[in-house]
Structure 1
Amino acid sequence: MSRFFGEIRQAGYVVPDIEAAMDYWSRVLGVGPFFYNPKVPIRNYRYKGEAYEPHNSVALANSGPLQIELIQCRNDVPSMYRDFRELGHTGLQHVAYWTDSYEADLERLLAQGFEPVMSGEVGERGRFVYFDTHYHPGTVIELSEVAGPKGEMFRLIRDAAADWDGKNPVRPFPDLNKL
């Protein structure tokens, strides 16, 4: 556990082919089921202070308490994922810490000198921010608000993994508006 942030709750992998990555993780590593969204609806997306409209495909599954996130960029919008890929990297790009006290934790991290690079919102009470912590591949830090519908979706994904029998390895994202 990080003495600064608490438990790492998610490992985020940037992949060139999300369908192949889901197949590998579920078939070879036995992690699943993956909940897949071919186009994540990100609101208020900012990268280095500028607004953009990213098209990212995302798949989420749990291995115990750790959530695995697979990310494929579908357009060339500026992002930390694109930067990672353009440096020739694939694989682990970030680790995420979850919070239900987003404002307080963000304020604390800003006061400690962390600099936001990328941010946005997924659903209600689903804000996220990535900090300028890319010291070597896989070390970007994300602070993710996990409350409301997003928190409920993450609970459903974790619960599905706990009893997963290997069948139906790819499933659609639950509708955040109905959680």
Structure 2
Amino acid sequence: MSRIFGQIAQIGYVVRDLHAAMDFWVAQGVGPWFYQEPVQTDWFKYRGADSGMQMAAAVANSGDVQIELIQPLNDEPSLYKDFLDAGHEGAQHVAYWTKDYQELYDRALSLGYTVAQEGAIQGGRFAYLDTETHPGTVIEISDIGGAKGELFAALREMAAAWDGTNPINKVG
């Protein structure tokens, strides 16, 4: 538990092949997976500048922890592209969720954190703080107020009752 951010809610993996990564996790008994390709962002900024980053993403739960898989789909600037370009693949961030996003965002900035990338998906804001001193240490904060929080709760419940059927599901 972080005294600043709360409980880790998600571990994010950046991968070169989203479908192969989902297959790997299904073989470990984790699912069902829900993926979108491409994910439509409302807006996205990398180091303060607009970026046309495109990605595919998938989510599933293992207990209370959500596993997220992200595959960049173009060469536009993002931390995801940076991670792969550095020769890495795998765990890239941990995410903390909040229903009071602006308060957590402001608190992080007041403590000296800086934003490396940020954006919104269907109105739900997210920011990746510039904390990476070695791979896998980026901190994401994400707004789960409203529909996004309800969706994530439903996915957690579905995973708890999953019987292994329909392991991979396309949405959107």
* In 2: Cα distance, 1:157 partner to 1:39 partner: 20
* In 2: Cα distance, 1:69 partner to 1:131 partner: 17
Name the structure 1 match of 2:7: 7
**TM-score (normalised: structure 1):** 0.93
Within-5 A mapping of 1:159-174: 159-173=157-171
Give the aligned residue type for 2:125: R
Give the aligned residue type for 1:4: I
Q: Is the 8 A contact 1:13 1:93 kept in 2?
A: yes
Name the structure 2 match of 1:18: 18
| Superposed CA offset, 1:119-152 (max 9, x none) | 000113x100001100111000000001111112
* In 1: Cα distance, 2:98 partner to 2:86 partner: 30
The alignment partner of 1:39 has SS state of strand
* In 2: Cα distance, 1:127 partner to 1:63 partner: 24
Aligned pair count reads 172
Give the aligned residue type for 1:14: V
Give the aligned residue type for 2:17: D
Give the aligned residue type for 1:149: A
* In 1: Cα distance, 2:26 partner to 2:129 partner: 30
Name the structure 1 match of 2:120: 121
- Structure 1 spans left out of the alignment, 5+ residues: none
The alpha-carbon deviation at position 172 of structure 1 amounts to 2.5
**TM-score (normalised: structure 2):** 0.97
The alpha-carbon deviation at position 54 of structure 1 amounts to 1.6
Say which structure is richer in strand: 2
Give the aligned residue type for 1:144: S
Q: Which stretch has the larger CA shift, 1-10 or 88-97?
A: 1-10
* In 2: Cα distance, 1:49 partner to 1:42 partner: 16
Name the structure 2 match of 1:140: 138
The alignment partner of 2:104 has SS state of helix
* In 2: Cα distance, 1:163 partner to 1:141 partner: 29
Q: Is the 8 A contact 1:123 1:149 kept in 2?
A: no
* In 1: Cα distance, 2:73 partner to 2:2 partner: 32
Query: After TM superposition, what 4+ stretches of structure 1 lie above 4 angstroms from structure 2?
Result: none
* In 1: Cα distance, 2:34 partner to 2:109 partner: 32
Name the structure 1 match of 2:97: 98
Give the aligned residue type for 2:137: T
Give the aligned residue type for 1:77: E
| Superposed CA offset, 1:35-93 (max 9, x none) | 11011111121001111222100000000000000000010110000111111000000
Name the structure 2 match of 1:66: 65
- Structure 2 spans left out of the alignment, 5+ residues: none
